[in-house]
Structures are given as C-alpha cells and as structure tokens.
Amino acid sequence: MKKRGHQDEHANSLYPAEGKGTHRERHELWKAKEFDARGSRSRGAPKTRGFVHVAAGWYKPNPEDPENSSIYEYLVSMDLKGMLVKTVANQALGKMVRDDMENNRIYALKLAAR
C-alpha cells in the first residue's frame, strides 16, 4: 500500500497531498486498502474466498447538519471466488463499513486531541 499523500497516475483521487489540513478543514478523508478475504475450513489451509482489489471510502459533511454528521460513501472493487449468498455478502460488507467508520472516528478523535 502506498503511503498517504503519495501521488501517481493511478492514485491521485485516492491519496490527497499531505499538509492540506484536518478532516474538518478538508471535509474529506480518503483511504484505500488491498487484502485477501480468507475463510477457514476444518481441514487444510485457509481458502481464499475472494480478493479485494481496492476499497475506498470518503466522508463529506452532511449539508443538513455539517457540524454533527457526515455522509460516508464507500466504493469496493472485488473478485469473489465462487458463489456467495446475498444476505451473507450484505452482512459482511455492512460490518466492514461499520468497523471502518468506527476506526476512522477513533483516529479523528485522536487527531483532534493533539
């Protein structure tokens, strides 16, 4: 994964330049990550269930209440290896986004405390 602030032809929209201010000043927070989605089986090595090429999310202040709430948009590009039940996919993606939002909230609070 490239360091935050890194600029190249494929990452310009995902990694803002350093020194642009805090989340509140910039009104956006970009991130991207790449990882294998692995499942476990009772025998043998873990089986790869899919590959996430990139997952990116960004925050914008909610126009109706910009001081207290944000709109969070998420974009995921992935290859699934086989069938996946829709309800399981919805639960997993919902949990991933919820966990990501919580981690970013904690990070923003730590930055604000500096």
Residue 99 lies in a domain: no
**pLDDT at residue number 56:** 80
Residue 48 lies in a domain: yes
Residue 14 lies in a domain: no
Residue 32 lies in a domain: yes
Residue 10 lies in a domain: no
Q: Whose CA is closest to 59, among 28, 32, 33?
A: 28
CB–CB of 41/47 below 8 Å?
A: yes
Longest dimension (CA), the chain: 52
Residue 37 lies in a domain: yes
**pLDDT at residue number 48:** 61
Residue 109 lies in a domain: no
Residue 98 lies in a domain: no
Dist. CA 45–CA 75, nearest whole Å: 30
35: three-class secondary structure by DSSP? strand
Number of structural domains in the chain: 1
Q: Which residue numbers in the chain have pLDDT < 50?
A: 1-36, 40-41
Instruction: Find the domain containing 29 and state its range.
Output: 23-82
> pTM of this prediction?
0.45
**pLDDT at residue number 45:** 59
- Please give the structure tokens belonging to residue 106: 């904690």
